[in-house]
Amino acid sequence: MADAEGREPDRGRGAAPQTGESRTGLSAGDMLTALDDALEEHERWMGRWRRALVCRIAPDADILAPDQHLATEFGRWCASNADAPLLQQPAMRDLQQSYRDAMSLAHLLAERVSDHRPIPVGEYDELMRREDEFRARARRLRDAFRKAVSELDPLTGLSTRTAMMTELEAEFARAPAAARAGSGRRALAIALADIDHFKQINDRLGHAAGDEVLRAAAGRFLSRLRPTDSIYRYGGEEFLICLPDAGQGVARSVLERLRAALADRPIGLESGEEIAVTASFGVATARPGTTLKQVIERADEALYAAKHGGRNRVAGWRGRDGEEDGEDDAEEDASGYDGGDDGG
């Protein structure tokens, strides 16, 4: 259950569950900043450690402090965010253990320097090995979070168009391959959603309120998707939804859930005002001989029809013969949604 508008559970793909904002407020951007700072701080710390060793002077007091890993900004940051889901991930746990191992040995060797005792070559080499391991782990994680930040929309937490096309192309190629293999999968459907009268919301209430609406809409849409579905921030007030294994009937059933999730309950703004918001949807299915670009264009045409048909509705793409696109699977269940509360 969510704690506020726009922070509903992550049910679909297209919103990175391991890198978005966690329940303790840590985001991919927070992690990236922390890792950048940790690497920089550690280089400075080790520089002071080596200076004491080479110049045969007393190490600085913080280097000799007990629980050395807690004497650094990174160590304290890890401790203060220990319950954050992102820090509970195996890669982050391994990084923190690697950091503690390096710092504890560095502390032990610093005490020997302080006591004017020699450092055995084997122990110095072990410290360098631990240092290399920590830096390598931190850099790999930093690069992963940097990639996540570049592919996530900071407002909604959804994936952006940068990540979208790669994932859509893979799903588009997978659909006919699965059908040929006799897996029982149906067509791939792609939908575009657009918040109705969004410009009026911005003009009347301001862009901050518009941002709140987009966050809440993204959260409500996510909470009504099947686990296999993906949703992306397509641009402005538009979202793209990828629905694998869905003909026109199943796709429309899923999209009707999304439409109702937004229309049936007003969005509460931070100002205390509540605002009724709706969205229009256009959907098209991948038919033999169509390209991904054509399917997206057809979904856009269907969205245009939904807008001109009165808004707050779902419209399927219609061919030249006027028949709606895709196979009729309306009787089949749009499986995967458990009817859970979005908490908004």
Sign of CA dihedral 218, 220, 224, 227: positive
pLDDT tens, residue by residue, 21-69: 333 457 778 888 899 998 999 889 899 999 988 998 988 888 888 776 6
CA–CA separation, 342 vs 265, rounded Å? Answer: 11
Share of the chain above pLDDT 90, in %: 47
Query: Integer distance in angstroms from the first to the last C-alpha of the chain?
Result: 8
Could you tell me if 312 and 280 are in contact, meaning their C-beta atoms sit under 8 angstroms apart?
yes
Domain ranges for the chain, please list them. 28-151, 161-316
| Angle 105-108-114 from CA coordinates, rounded to 5° | 140
Rounded average pLDDT over 185-213: 93
Rounded average pLDDT over 191-208: 96
CA–CA separation, 12 vs 260, rounded Å? Answer: 17
Give the Å distances, CA to CA, from 220 to 56, 239, 240, 278.
Answer: 62, 12, 14, 12
Q: Which class is 28-151 in CATH?
A: mainly alpha
SS3 for 27? coil
- List the catalytic residue out of 237, 274, 297, 323: 237
68: DSSP letter: G
Give the Å distances, CA to CA, from 184 to 150, 187, 245.
Answer: 36, 10, 9
- Lookup: tokens for 249: 């009937």
pLDDT value, residue 25: 58
pLDDT value, residue 326: 52
Confidence of residue 325 (pLDDT cuts 50, 70, 90): low
Asked if pLDDT for residue 123 goes beyond 50, the answer is yes
pLDDT value, residue 159: 86
8 in catalytic set: no
Query: CA nearest 147: which of 32, 9, 67, 59?
Result: 32
Which CATH code for domain 161-316?
3.30.70.270
Confidence of residue 12 (pLDDT cuts 50, 70, 90): very low
Query: CA nearest 224: which of 255, 251, 249?
Result: 255
